[in-house]
Chain A
């Protein structure tokens, strides 16, 4: 391949100029003449109730209201707002128990803010005013905020398809004993020298992407349903909307706008069904929904709160003999990707260490809380909070160095990866640990903080993790890519991969330019148009660079090959004797024998007949390449995070001092973008460990769905950060790259908890570790610090 020209360089991001000038167009910026405004009427009186009577008549009379819509004024077809169900075969879906039980407007309110009706009006203000005039008579139902409450024998059933309100458990047909793992756990514990167990809780964390949900839909004069959305999986939403509204896909068009962050909140649909149902009610009129921020907390899926029990056993020398675990997840009001989260939480567990015996059970129960679904890491931060604290406790009990224990017992190249099906293709975790430890001064600080006095105490903690690069071999993987070479030898690459802000449109373009051998300015990426783009899953499972990037690379290799084939016929040599320097194709060793790529591309399109010879001036046909690509590998990244902090034992406050993360990413296509993922992930992981949780009162009403009451770490709360990119090259990833997208959020969670453990001598099992919890724990232990 020779020296890389574009890949590996932090070139200017392709979207950044528009973003700093404010000209990037997000869904909320879409405007059409005559556009109407939609408002979903939500239930804020109850978190669980049946709608006995809905009276929309007063709302309909408000001047400026165009239409009011009750549950029966729109399609009554049931759906599932997530798209994970599309990624399993029908048989698998049945085994997993995937269901479709959502209605556009519900008559059974299952959470605070559930949608019960719709209003279309000439302005947002009018729609809002009309919504306040909707009269509803409810039959209140008992509110269930925990799996114990909703799973009780006499509890009201959320859906007849899920008896006992158990939305999911690992199915017997796929996981005998409803458990995954290997060996004989019970027997192994009998032989263990040390057995510890505990029950943890991980919080309902919200993605808080900065762009609130906004949509425009239009049922146009051709009878097509158009939807402008900032969803992260446009092609699967295309399929979902087509099914829901029973329109052929050719009559549904998705326009993906610039996406203002996702982190999983936009995996699948949020308000696409509602806005499209409204548009269908007023054919020819565009309808816009701009969701208020406080509603985003209630309608887009959050991280699942999880109760997580774990028991682990070791030999005296640290040999990990057995691990037994069970996570019980709070599902919220609807099923969504119910089968996936409780499973992956266990996958991350079985993928990490070489435990000789392992058993994991996962379940989810409906609760009267807003829906839960995908959030960056997808169960991995939950497992990290629990597993890494348990390992830490064991190391203290066994008097082992926690870093050396991890170095010795993590899985590595060739070991079975998280699905326990395919091997890890590469692993540089030891290098991550060594470089991270050196950067933060682990040895020295760990010793220094072992003996402290005073009311402010410092701690340093480490955690390790691995993640995934795509969804293979668990669920569907597929990206198509088409490349056209234009008449001036520039390229248009059509691919539906989403850029939620992480920079994938830049990195995919780098891969295309590098593969074609042309400057990045000569490569254009065309995305976000469901007519023009072929299939792609969308952004999830940290797949875009690894799978989408490979698809782009293969299509570009094909296009380049076709170009070289034509050159070979002109120069009368074999293709493998040729090389290309920018736009000149020449015979290796004889650069004077050359042909211009521009001439080949041009004559292929402007294919005139030479009047002297009566023959075409050159080979006819625009060069196009196409791949429908399905990966046959998965190359998970490994990573380590070190966190140093100080706890004020009088106030319980935690000051973050330093964070070092090192990621084994194979190859950084764009180093600054990789660092950005790690740094941004750290902000979310530290938040999950320390401050972030959506709270509900006893009625099930959200009490902190605003940025003031839901505390995320701000610029002055963040620690010093160092990101280390470990680039050893993976044998399968494009240019050796593995994923980096989700991974950044994972290990800051465990490392923070472990640093607090060192500082205070207390392990906190209930996340987030707030000052209140720290003070209470100190008081309960009767501990005094001087």
Chain B
């Protein structure tokens, strides 16, 4: 298996890593960089538990991304969203709306929501629902998650304004 030397910028810090060419970004985050907040749910890009943010707005399935292709890219995981003790408005909204149960989909769902709001800061309910497709939650029935994204949208508009 060939190896690649890559620099991954994860949550604002550069990490120089040697990755085998068959290793996914999810493998490298979890196993080599000890960042377990990004979850393995299916390994086939169907559930969204492994979603990470690339360059502040694009949500990707890290289980479907070869780590070797991510050299020099800026990656954000759920653990990298908060600024010091202050949670990201999306994280805060998930708390306020009790949009979390088992929590296993949550890091990916939060990242997916941040991406959704980066692309569309003022989404309709239908746009939120469609934007969350690809991220599966088996606990909540999605209602409180949709409400949380709508609340975050409002909160972020408030800060921006």
> Which residues in A have some Cβ–Cβ distance to B below 8 Å?
10, 12-13, 15-26, 28-29, 31, 207-212, 258-261, 263, 290, 292-293, 500-503, 672-673, 675-676, 679-684, 706-708, 712, 714-716, 718, 721
Contact = CB atoms under 8 A, between A and B. Distances in A.
Contact of A209 (B44, B138, B140): B138
Contacts of B100: 13, 15-16, 19-20
A29 B34 CA distance: 9
22 contacts: A15-B103, A16-B94, A19-B107, A20-B91, A20-B94, A21-B81, A21-B82, A23-B37, A28-B36, A29-B36, A208-B136, A210-B102, A210-B105, A211-B39, A211-B102, A293-B43, A676-B101, A676-B139, A680-B140, A715-B137, A716-B129, A718-B129
B133 interface: yes
A21 B105 CA distance: 12
B146 interface: yes
A672 B141 CA distance: 13
B110 interface: yes
Contact of A679 (B41, B129, B141): B141
A22 B143 contact: no
Contacts of A208: 136, 138
A706 B144 CA distance: 26
Interface residues of B, number: 52
Interface string B118-156: 000000001011101111111111111110000000000
Contacts of A676: 98, 101, 139-141, 144
Contacts of B81: 21
B95 A501 contact: no
B157 interface: no
Nearest to B49: A210
Contacts of A712: 136, 138
Query: Which 9 residue pairs across A and B have the least CB separation, nearest first?
Result: A22-B37, A501-B102, A19-B103, A260-B104, A679-B141, A707-B46, A501-B101, A672-B98, A29-B36
B42 A715 contact: no
A691 to B, nearest CB: 13
Interface string B82-109: 1000010001001101101111111100
Given A24-B103, A715-B145, A684 B138 contact: yes
B10 interface: no
B102 A261 contact: yes
Given A28-B40, A715-B132, A502 B138 contact: no
B106 A716 contact: no
Contact of B95 (A20, A209, A263): A20
A207 B146 CA distance: 22
Interface of B: 34, 36-44, 46-47, 49, 77-79, 81-82, 87, 91, 94-95, 97-98, 100-107, 110, 126, 128-130, 132-146
A216 to B, nearest CB: 13
A502 B43 contact: no
Contacts of B46: 706-708
Nearest to A659: B141
A716 B103 contact: no
A118 B78 CA distance: 35
Given A679-B142, A714-B132, 11 more contacts: A13-B95, A15-B103, A19-B106, A22-B107, A210-B139, A211-B39, A211-B104, A261-B139, A293-B43, A680-B138, A714-B142
B155 to A, nearest CB: 14
Contacts of B146: 715
Given A263-B138, A672-B98, A715-B146, A22 B79 contact: yes
A714 B102 contact: no
Contact of B42 (A500, A706, A714): A706
A208 B41 CA distance: 10
Contacts of B79: 21-23
A29 B37 CA distance: 8
Given A13-B100, A258-B103, A714-B133, A210 B95 contact: no
Contacts of B37: 21-23
A16 B100 CA distance: 7
B115 to A, nearest CB: 14
Contacts of A31: 34, 36
B133 A503 contact: no
A714 B91 contact: no
Contacts of A23: 37, 79
Contacts of B133: 714-716
A20 B144 contact: no
A666 to B, nearest CB: 20
B87 A20 contact: yes
Nearest to A15: B103
B95 A718 contact: no
Contacts of A708: 44, 46
B138 A679 contact: no
A24 B84 CA distance: 18
Given A676-B98, A676-B144, A707 B91 contact: no
A60 to B, nearest CB: 22
A161 B142 CA distance: 45
A21 B78 contact: yes
B126 to A, nearest CB: 7
A210 B44 contact: no
Contacts of B129: 715-716, 718
